[in-house]
Amino acid sequence: TLTAPAPFADETSCQCQAPHEKLTIAQARLGTPVDRPVRVYADGIFDLFHAGHARALMQAKTLFPNSYLLVGVCSDDLTHKFKGFTVMNETERYEALRHCRYVDEVIRDAPWTLTPEFLEKHKIDFVAHDDIPYSSAGSDDVYKHIKEAGMFVPTQRTEGISTSDIITRIVRDYDVYARRNLQRGYTAKELNVSFISEKKYRFQNHVDKMKEKVKNVEEKSKEFVYKVEEKSHDLIQKWEEKSREFIGNFLELFGPDGAWKQMFQERSGRMLQAFSPRQSPNSSPTRGRSPSRSPSPPWVINKASPPSSPKAASASLSSMSEGDEDEK
C-alpha cells in the first residue's frame, strides 16, 4: 500500500545489494536476477503532468516482472535552454512525479543526454522512452547510443494528449480563461491584460450572467407550465371520474326505474287514498237504521238539511198542507 510519495535519488542510497551486472532484455523478462529488481530509467520534462505521462510511466514500470522505476526530471535552466519555457517550474514538476503511483524514485536535475557515468552512478539497467527519434542538442536522436548499447526499451505514446496540445487549447481559448480568472478575483495586472481588454471581459461576464438568469427564468417557467399542465390533467381526470359517478347516482335516483319514481308513486298513492277513501259496506251499523227509533213523520223538517232553494221550500210546504187535508 502506497502511503508516501516516491523519494528523491539524492536523499536515499541505491537499493542494489549485489554487484551490478549487465542484463539482457531476455534475462530481464524472465525476472532475473532474483536478488534485486531490474532498474528502469525514464526521463522527461513532464510539464503539466497529464494522463499521457502517467501511461508512459506505467508501461516503463510493467516492462519486466520485477522492476524499480527511476524517473529523471530536467531542471528549468536546462529545459529553457534546449526546449523552451515551461508552464510549471521545476519544483512543481518534481512534486508531480513523486505522487505518481508507478514511480519508485525521482532524480532531480537529470542530464539532457545520458552519459555512461550517470548510468553507472544510478546502476540503470534499461532506459524506457517512446521509439520516435528525439532530436535535440545538436543530435538527431539523443537516445541513439542507448539503443546501440542494447539498453533501450520502447514505450507507446498516448495519442490525442500532450503538453503542447494542452497549451494550444489554452492559447485558443485565451479569452474564456481570462474572463474566468477575472471573475474569480485575479487582477488585470496578474493576467497581463490591458485596461480595454479588462473592461471588455468584464462586460462579457455581465452579459453572460444576464443570459444565465434569462435561461434560469425560462427553465423555471417551463417547469411551472409543466406542473400546471400536470395538475390540470389530474383535475380533468378526477372530474371525469367524479362526473361518471355523479351521472350514475343521478340515473339511479331519477331514472325511469329510479328510486325517486318508486318513492313518488308510493306517496301519490297514499295521497289519493287520503283524499278519496273507500266506501263502507251496506251492512255497516253506521249506515243502517236504529231498531229502537221509528221513522220520522213527513211533516218533521230536518233542521240539519235546509232546503237548497225557495222553490224547494214552497214545494215542501204545499206537500205538508195536502197531507193535513187528507188527514182531516
- The answer on 145 and 37 residing in a single domain is yes
| Interstrand relation of 152-155 and 126-130 (parallel, antiparallel or unpaired) | parallel
Residue 168 domain-assigned (yes or no): yes
Residue 4 domain-assigned (yes or no): no
Last residue of a domain, one of 137, 153, 169: 153
**Domain around 225:** 161-264
pLDDT tens-digit profile, the chain (328 residues): 577 888 898 887 555 554 577 788 888 888 777 778 999 999 999 999 999 999 999 999 999 989 999 999 999 999 999 999 999 999 999 999 999 999 999 999 999 999 999 999 999 999 999 998 888 767 788 999 999 999 999 999 999 999 999 999 999 999 888 888 988 899 989 888 888 888 888 888 888 888 888 888 888 888 888 888 778 877 887 777 777 777 777 767 766 666 666 777 777 777 777 776 555 555 555 554 545 555 555 544 444 445 555 555 555 545 554 555 444 4
Residue 76: the pLDDT is 97
Angstrom distance (rounded) from CA 318 to CA 322: 6
| 166 contacts: CB under 8 Å, gap ≥ 6 | 48, 50
- The answer on 138 and 34 residing in a single domain is yes
- The answer on 169 and 100 residing in a single domain is no
Contact 107, 6 (CB under 8 A): no
pTM: 0.61
Residue 13: the pLDDT is 59
Angstrom distance (rounded) from CA 157 to CA 150: 21
Neighbouring C-beta atoms of residue 59, cutoff 10 Å:
19
| Interstrand relation of 126-130 and 67-73 (parallel, antiparallel or unpaired) | unpaired
Residue 203: the pLDDT is 83
Query: Which residues lie across from 73 on neighbouring strands?
Result: 44, 108
Handedness of CA 196, 201, 206, 211 (dihedral sign): positive
Angstrom distance (rounded) from CA 317 to CA 325: 13
Residue 147 domain-assigned (yes or no): yes
Residue 294 domain-assigned (yes or no): no
| Interstrand relation of 38-44 and 126-130 (parallel, antiparallel or unpaired) | parallel
- The answer on 107 and 53 residing in a single domain is yes
Q: CATH number for the domain including 59?
A: 3.40.50.620
- Number of domains observed in the structure of the chain: 2
- The answer on 32 and 117 residing in a single domain is yes
